[in-house]
Amino acid sequence: MTSDAKEQSLEPRHMKPDMPLLDAFNNAQYNAMGDGVVSVDADGIVVLSDRISREKLDIYPGGSLEKQIPQLWAKIKDTLFDRKPRFELSIQKGDSSFLVTVSPIIVVDQVAGAICVFVENTDLEIMARQIRSFRELSKELVTVIDSSSEGLLVCDGEGVILRVNPASERLNDLKKEDLIGRNIRELVEQGVIDRTVVLEVLNNKSVVHTLQNCAGHKLITTGAPVFDDEGQIIRVVVTERDITEIDTLQRELEDQEAIKGQFWHHMLEQQQVELASQTVIAKSPAMIKVLRQAVKVSAADSSVLILGESGVGKGLIADLIHKNSARSNKPLIKINCGAIPESLIESELFGHEKGAFTGAQTARPGYLELADGGILFLDEIAELPLSSQVKLLRFLEDGRVTRLGGNAGRTINVRILAATHRNLESMVAEKTFRLDLYYRLNVVPLYIPSLKERQDCLLSLLRYYIDYFGAKNGSPKRLTRAATDALLAYDYPGNVRELMNVCERLIVMSDTEVIDLRDLPKQFASHVEEPLMPTNGWPKEMTLVQILESVERSVLVGAIKECGNQYRIADSLGINQSTVARKLKKYGIC
């Protein structure tokens, strides 16, 4: 088509060049509409096309729409037939997409043709996609907000509540139906809400953090303002975090730390009291030598093996070494290897991880870790199972501890003191104690003599502990010469521990201020022949009652040796059997 034809394309085919001014104005209006406009007759021949339809659709008057856009012509025929307009029909022309509205042209009740309006929908599709994306994003955000475990409340710039998520409903024990659309000030005034961070944000125009209690929950509430381009608050976003459980756990942790601190303090205090209450009495050369060795080895960091019979004071020597060592400000932990079941000894020494065995609900450090920096005293080391001996040997070699059920080792700094009353060399020969562990422990051996080997200390020990337990119980007492001789004549198979127990028993159980032979347990009285009558008079400090009781006891002792049973004693002394039984019990004769 020539340029002249294109310039005349808005003119109907019968229009002459000398078209009236009104028709030219109408054609100009079509061109100014901004949308493509095409009219066709009943045969599909284009009667009119505007500038948009010519430039973008290549539709000119006189052309056949059926040939140019057959899919559109099918819709136009339907409109010509039923006289009903068709809306938002989509057609594709090259790279462009259009939405088409088809309306019938009726002249004197006859359908003369149709008019088509083309709207390019590329921008519309972009906008539609953006709207769909926005809706999807909005839906996703709503889902995220509603599924959050933290409470979320949104207000506008006037304090009107716009959104409340389920977590906020739960934390505040309120329904969103009772909140949305209401002003936060009104809710505070009515007492529905005790306190809100929203008002503080609106007043301060900045982020505000508060700690408050709501419906039994302890909440950290944060209010954040949202500003528009002019600096005005258009939204206030409030987040609510429930720290009730965290606060409870924190309190439990603090309690455990306090208990732990109290435990250490108590343990150290008990060690000091124990050491103060067990003053080392050393009169014999053998004991003095041991004490000198203990003080000397305190300055080193070597392992020490303390040997001696049960009750000689091996724990006291460990206390002495700790007190005089560079680790004196660190804990001294004592464990008795024979008092812990074999199935638990490894867990107690080396600790365990959570789930290491049935019942291991939490991880727990062992005694070696607890003694880090200090001293671990392993009493009765001979009772340690062979499996645990291997792990102890490994620790002594590399200083690392691996908890039961764990993989990672921990390096700790612990000095080991061990003690036993058994012959470890014999146990090594019998293969019940590891030779390599024996050498590791026996770096510095200390042998503590038994009481039979330190008779020079016995009288001083007796006097010290009688005075000590007397002061402790608020009942100071003293020994008679006969009682002292009986106590000195005893061999004390339990050593110092047995001597201490006897002294405490005498203080607690004796009825008078003077402890006499009659107050001693039977095993002590049997070591001394008690005369029926005193030969050199009674001690000046004894009262008449004490003298009479002493005589009565002597008579009963002699009578039971001669008569053998309570009935014969009663017959010979002229008293009844029940009286004999009561007096024998009173004096502890049988």
**pLDDT score at 274:** 46
For 128-142, 332-346, 426-440, 551-565, which range has the lowest pLDDT when averaged over its residues? 128-142
Residue 534 pLDDT more than 60? no
In the block, tokens 């209010």 appear at 223
Is there a contact between 460 and 281 (Cβ–Cβ < 8 Å)? yes
* Ramachandran sector of residue 36 (left: φ over 0; alpha: ψ -120 to 50; beta: rest): beta
Domains 126-242 and 278-449 share a fold: no
Q: Is the dihedral of CA 281, 287, 293, 294 positive or negative?
A: negative
* Residues near 155 by beta carbon (within 8 Å), at least 6 away in sequence: 161, 162, 184, 198, 235, 236, 238
Distance CA 19, CA 15 (A): 6
User: Tens digit of pLDDT for each residue in 113-163?
Assistant: 999 988 877 666 667 677 777 777 777 777 777 777 788 888 998 889 888
- Length of the chain in residues, anyone? 590
Distance CA 174, CA 193 (A): 9
The two three-digit tokens of residue 216, written as one number? 């039994």
**pLDDT score at 253:** 65
The two three-digit tokens of residue 527, written as one number? 């070591």
CATH of 3-120, one of 3.30.450.20, 3.90.190.10, 3.40.50.300, 3.30.420.40: 3.30.450.20
Is there a contact between 76 and 42 (Cβ–Cβ < 8 Å)? no
Burial bucket for residue 465 (CB in 10 Å: 0-12, 13-18, 19+): buried
The 3-class secondary structure across 381-420, one letter per residue, is: HHHCCHHHHHHHHHHHHHCEEECECCCCEEECCCEEEEEE
Is there a contact between 138 and 219 (Cβ–Cβ < 8 Å)? no
Would you list the domain boundaries of the chain?
3-120, 126-242, 278-449, 530-590
In the block, tokens 């290549």 appear at 58
CATH of 126-242, one of 3.40.1390.10, 3.40.640.10, 2.60.40.1250, 3.30.450.20: 3.30.450.20
Entry pTM: 0.47
Letter string b/e over residues 52-71, b meaning 16 or more CB atoms within 10 A of that residue's CB: bbbeebebbbebebbebbee
Task: Report residue 565 CA to chain centroid gap.
Answer: 69
Mean pLDDT over each residue of the chain, to the nearest integer: 80
Q: Give the pLDDT band of residue 279 (cuts 50, 70, 90).
A: low
CATH of 278-449, one of 3.30.70.20, 3.50.50.60, 3.40.50.2000, 3.40.50.300: 3.40.50.300
What are the C-alpha distances in Å from 191 to residues 208, 221, 275? 22, 18, 64
**pLDDT score at 95:** 72
Residue 71 pLDDT more than 90? no
**pLDDT score at 21:** 54
The mean pLDDT of 334-362, rounded to a whole number, is 81
Q: Give the pLDDT band of residue 275 (cuts 50, 70, 90).
A: very low
Residue 12 pLDDT more than 70? no
Distance CA 422, CA 273 (A): 29
Is there a contact between 113 and 40 (Cβ–Cβ < 8 Å)? yes
24 C-beta neighbours (distance < 10 Å), count:
12
The mean pLDDT of 322-330, rounded to a whole number, is 91
Distance CA 434, CA 389 (A): 7
Helices then strands (H, E): number in the chain? 24, 19
CATH topology classification for 530-590: Arc Repressor Mutant, subunit A (1.10.10)
Distance CA 265, CA 237 (A): 49
